[in-house]
């Protein structure tokens, strides 16, 4: 069974930040989905920080795509440095077409800054 950690905290601007680390795969995708679904009310922005994720498979990617479909427009963003371990994988599956990907929380408030 692969291990991951999830820390959830509130940003001062009413943004909920979920910081993930470890490996995301079929063995933990269902639990991850349940935890992220309950992480933030629909009226707040949920930011999922993927910078510490070292591996992601298709089951976990499917979780992110489903979250993008369920969250109201603009209420989900992925936080990820362009050099993060899983950035190439997210590029390949065109995740940016489903959800906004930002390199910093500042980009949420000012999309033109990045």
Residue 2 has a pLDDT of 76
Quote the CA–CA distance of 28 and 40 in Å, as a whole number.
20
Which is nearest to 56 in space by CA: 82, 20, 99? 20
pLDDT digits (tens, 9 = 90+) for 69-110: 999 788 999 999 999 999 999 999 999 999 999 999 888 865
- Give tens-digit pLDDT for 15-36: 999 999 999 999 999 999 999 9
Rounded Cα gap, residues 51 and 28, in angstroms:
18
Q: Which two tokens stand for residue 29?
A: 């995708």
CATH number of 4-107: 3.30.750.24
Mean pLDDT, range 9-14, rounded to an integer: 75
Task: Look up residue 16 and give its two tokens.
Answer: 């909920």
60 pLDDT higher than 60: yes
Ranges of H-type helices in 38-113? 58-70, 87-92, 106-109
List residues bridging with 26 in a β-sheet.
Answer: none
So where are the chain's domains?
A: 4-107
% helix, strand, coil for the chain, step of 5: 35, 30, 35
């Amino acid at each position: 069974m692969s291990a991951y950690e999830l820390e959830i905290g509130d940003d001062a601007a009413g943004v909920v930040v979920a910081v993930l680390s470890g490996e995301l795969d079929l063995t933990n995708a269902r639990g991850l989905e349940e935890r992220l679904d309950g992480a933030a009310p629909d009226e707040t922005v949920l930011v999922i920080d993927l910078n510490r994720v070292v591996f992601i498979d298709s089951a976990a990617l499917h979780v992110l795509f489903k979250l993008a479909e369920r969250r109201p427009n603009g209420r989900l963003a992925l936080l990820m440095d362009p050099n993060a371990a899983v950035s190439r994988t997210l590029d390949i599956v065109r995740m940016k077409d489903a959800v906004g990907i930002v390199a910093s929380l500042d980009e949420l408030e000012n999309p033109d800054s990045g």
